[in-house]
A and B are shown apart, each in its own frame.
Chain A
Amino acid sequence: MTGPVRDGTDVRADATSPPERTAVVGARKRGRRGRRGEQPMVPDAEFTSYYGRPVLNKPTWHAGDIAGYLFLGGLAGASSILAAGAQLTGRRALARSCRVGALVGISGSLYALVHDLGRPARFLNMLRTVKPSSPMSVGTWILMAYGPAAGAAAVSDLTGLLPRAGRAATLGAAVVGPAVASYTAVLVADTAVPSWHEGHRELPFVFVGSAAAAAGGLGMIAAPVGEAGPARRAAVLGGVLELAAAKRMEAGMGLAAEPLRTGKAGRLMRAAKALTVTGALLGGVLGRKSRVASVLGGAAALAGSACTRFGVFHAGVASAEDPKYTVVPQREQLDRRGG
């Protein structure tokens, strides 16, 4: 008798050839990916799901707040390191711009974090416990240590009050700054969101590279060309680290790398790459001679860093919205184990 093949895995077959009237349990029908520049890197996987519904509940975080925080926190943390270096090497204008940049960055971060809470008035509940198993709790305490130091450094510099305390605060902020810039990678990676979690080995390096490029960009814009040498080198070094780490990360993520290359996240990641390279070449190389190139390159580096964070953010959300990224790797893992 002819008819649909009905072996033990009938449902899975439905994904490609749905029978006439049964509920389509399987992959959501997706249009052919014929859009320009979006070649599928991995062939569409056959998988089963519940009416194409996501397995995960997607993050409730708002892109403007949380991706914005990832960017601003990185900018602040790395700026504090540059500020300390500038202080120690007598680059006063660079030190000041980095101190102020750090304060603005961390203030924006704090605003974004509180704003994103479902109950902003309960922000202080974060401080009722110290929980090493929660990167958000650890991060809160990192910010509690960092924020006042960064603030004191900037305020002392701008007002001229308590200069010795200000210099000490600058060094203190530089010690905590790297933690501010890197912990956010753990924050997003410690979730079930495939495109965040699968990149957990390389994501901290992507984020600190992006942070260094942003701080370099800020220094190139705000400090005179004569003092901005370290900022230019930071934009180049950070950009190289970010792009190399991102490449390595994507190569190791399997199917979960796809959302980083497609859709909104893909566009952001490509823009990030172009802007970061532009920032490094224009600001880092030509900026040695030209103030205009410095400012334009700095702006490109900052924008590139922001695009990276928004790209990673949106890739995660996209990977949580499609059951494919949850089901296929887990099913493959089970099949490998013979389950």
Chain B
Amino acid sequence: MTADTGYENPAPRKGFFTDTSVCIGCKACEVACKEWNLIPEDGLELTGMSYDNTVGLGADTWRHVAFIEQRKPLGGQESTASAASTVDLGMPAMPGAADRSEFRWLMASDVCKHCTEAACLDVCPTGALFRTEFDTVVVQEDICNGCGYCVPACPYGVIDQREDDGRVWKCTMCYDRVGDGMEPACAKACPTDSIQFGDLDELRERADERLAQLHDAGIDDARLYGRDPDDGVGGNGAFFLLLDEPEVYGFPPAPKVTTRDLPAMWRRAGLAAATLLTGLAATFLGRKR
């Protein structure tokens, strides 16, 4: 909520809209992000699980392209090789050949969500994590002391500690570029405009239109993720159009900022502290032994 950020004349909130329905899995976003932000190399192993060798977001991966194979038609998709248009040559059939048209490949470029209510920022004890004038969430690397509290606080598994460095790192939504009126490196590099950068209000409108378009085209699985300002984190600054349930992509289905429960937690801790004090005081009552 821009009103809460403490800036007197805040710029319109900036955000990412990642439309995964046009992602082609080229990983240009990953590369552009690494290049621009000078992120160190973090291993060149092959996972063997798909074309995804980056695995997930972390200290040295601020954009991550997920690859998911499914036996499922993309909405409205029909096989061109129908029985009527082909001639049976009596060739041995491939087992399960009839199923082969039903295949889709989901690709999605994940990134820090820049939550409206950001748990990482809430729990940071040094103030290293702060909210920028663009309503994004950024780590000040000269202040972070590597306490690591933000790591388990993030409900999306985004921020992480860089081992040899000790501090935590994550997407800044290219704070340096945005401040100069440029779009973030990933959005700039994306060849299909799967990653769109802009004013969040405008992106939300655009996403709503795109969702309606896909639903009209028969792609009923399409849904927006992180767009709703009433969700458990007050909505995301970086939100997504997905073609399946969020957990398929490795997203939590219903994330919640844990600090919402903090007042209740402090009350319970206060009660427990009082219990401890009175309980131990009571051990001195009675017998003089």
Q: Do A and B bind each other?
A: yes
Chain A: residues with CB nearer than 8 A to chain B?
1, 3-4, 6, 8, 10-12, 19-20, 22-23, 25, 47-51, 53-61, 77-78, 81-82, 85-86, 88-89, 116-120, 122-123, 125-126, 128-129, 131, 133-137, 140, 174, 177-179, 181-183, 185-186, 189-193, 196-197, 200-202, 204-205, 207-208, 211-212, 215, 226-227, 229-231, 233-234, 237-238, 241, 288, 316, 320, 323, 326-327, 330-331, 333-334, 339
Instruction: Tell me, yes or no, whether B268 is within 8 Å of chain A by CB.
Output: yes
A118 touches B147 (CB 8 A): yes
Q: Which of these binds chain A: B19-27, B37-45, B174-182, B244-252?
A: B244-252
| A54 and chain B: residue at smallest CB distance | B157
Per-residue CB contact flags for chain B residues 51-69 toward chain A (1 = under 8 Å, else 0) read 0100111100000001111
B66 touches A82 (CB 8 A): no
Contacting residues of chain B (269-289) with chain A, CB-CB under 8 angstroms: 269-277, 279-284, 287-289
Contacting residues of chain B (96-132) with chain A, CB-CB under 8 angstroms: 96, 98-99, 102, 119, 122-128
| Complex Cα spacing A140 to B125, Å | 9
> Given known contacts A212-B276, A229-B289, is B283 in contact with A327 (CB within 8 Å)?
no
Given contacts A55-B247, A178-B274, A205-B268, 5 further A-B contacts (CB under 8 A): A56-B152, A182-B272, A190-B258, A205-B272, A237-B279
B252 touches A25 (CB 8 A): no
By CB atoms of chain A within 10 A, which of B123, B128, B160, B272 has the most?
B272
Which residues of chain A are near B265, meaning CB under 8 Å? 135, 185-186, 189-190, 200, 204
Which residues of chain A are near B102, meaning CB under 8 Å? 6
**Contact pick for B284, options A12, A85, A120, A182, CB 8 Å:** A85
A59 touches B152 (CB 8 A): yes
B4 to A: closest C-beta gap in Å: 12
> How many cross-chain pairs have Cβ atoms below 8 Å apart between A and B?
291
B99 touches A50 (CB 8 A): no
Which residues of chain A are near B273, meaning CB under 8 Å? 178-179, 181-182, 204, 208
B125 touches A136 (CB 8 A): yes
B276 touches A57 (CB 8 A): no
> Given known contacts A208-B272, A208-B273, A241-B279, is B68 in contact with A23 (CB within 8 Å)?
yes
Which residues of chain B are near A131, meaning CB under 8 Å? 124-125, 127
Instruction: Tell me, yes or no, whether B87 is within 8 Å of chain A by CB.
Output: no
| B276 and chain A: residue at smallest CB distance | A208
Q: Which of these binds chain A: B138-146, B186-194, B196-204?
A: B138-146
Which residues of chain A are near B153, meaning CB under 8 Å? 190-192
Instruction: Tell me, yes or no, whether B171 is within 8 Å of chain A by CB.
Output: no
| B104 and chain A: residue at smallest CB distance | A10
Which residues of chain A are near B151, meaning CB under 8 Å? 57-60
A200 touches B264 (CB 8 A): yes
**Contact pick for A11, options B143, B248, B253, B279, CB 8 Å:** B248
**Contact pick for B248, options A19, A48, A57, A178, CB 8 Å:** A48
B160 touches A57 (CB 8 A): yes
Instruction: Tell me, yes or no, whether B155 is within 8 Å of chain A by CB.
Output: yes
Which residues of chain B are near A135, meaning CB under 8 Å? 123, 262, 265
Instruction: Tell me, yes or no, whether B224 is within 8 Å of chain A by CB.
Output: no
| B110 and chain A: residue at smallest CB distance | A50
Which residues of chain B are near A88, meaning CB under 8 Å? 284
B268 touches A48 (CB 8 A): no
**Contact pick for B276, options A22, A60, A78, CB 8 Å:** A78
| Complex Cα spacing A50 to B107, Å | 12
Which residues of chain B are near A22, meaning CB under 8 Å? 69-71
**Contact pick for B268, options A174, A193, A200, A333, CB 8 Å:** A200
Closest 10 A/B residue pairs (Cβ): A118-B146, A118-B166, A50-B250, A204-B272, A122-B145, A178-B273, A233-B283, A137-B125, A230-B283, A136-B125
A190 touches B251 (CB 8 A): no
Per-residue CB contact flags for chain B residues 256-268 toward chain A (1 = under 8 Å, else 0) read 1011011011101
| Complex Cα spacing A146 to B210, Å | 57
A191 touches B152 (CB 8 A): yes
> Given known contacts A23-B49, A131-B125, A241-B275, is B247 in contact with A47 (CB within 8 Å)?
yes
B152 touches A230 (CB 8 A): no
Which residues of chain A are near B250, meaning CB under 8 Å? 49-50, 53, 55, 323
A309 to B: closest C-beta gap in Å: 15
> Given known contacts A57-B58, A208-B273, is B247 in contact with A323 (CB within 8 Å)?
yes
| A237 and chain B: residue at smallest CB distance | B279
Which residues of chain A are near B289, meaning CB under 8 Å? 226-227, 229, 288
Could you show 21 A-B contacts with beta carbons less than 8 Å apart?
A10-B72, A48-B245, A50-B250, A53-B56, A55-B247, A55-B251, A59-B151, A60-B151, A81-B281, A88-B284, A122-B126, A125-B143, A134-B149, A182-B276, A185-B265, A190-B123, A200-B264, A201-B264, A208-B272, A229-B289, A237-B280
B98 touches A1 (CB 8 A): yes
**Contact pick for A59, options B122, B148, B162, CB 8 Å:** B148
Instruction: Tell me, yes or no, whether B1 is within 8 Å of chain A by CB.
Output: no
| Complex Cα spacing A125 to B141, Å | 12
| Complex Cα spacing A118 to B289, Å | 47
B282 to A: closest C-beta gap in Å: 8
Which residues of chain B are near A174, meaning CB under 8 Å? 277
| Complex Cα spacing A327 to B280, Å | 41
> Given known contacts A4-B71, A59-B148, A226-B289, is B127 in contact with A128 (CB within 8 Å)?
yes
A116 touches B248 (CB 8 A): no
Per-residue CB contact flags for chain B residues 230-255 toward chain A (1 = under 8 Å, else 0) read 00000000000000110111111111
B71 touches A211 (CB 8 A): no
B272 touches A185 (CB 8 A): yes
| Complex Cα spacing A333 to B255, Å | 11
**Contact pick for A50, options B156, B249, B287, CB 8 Å:** B249
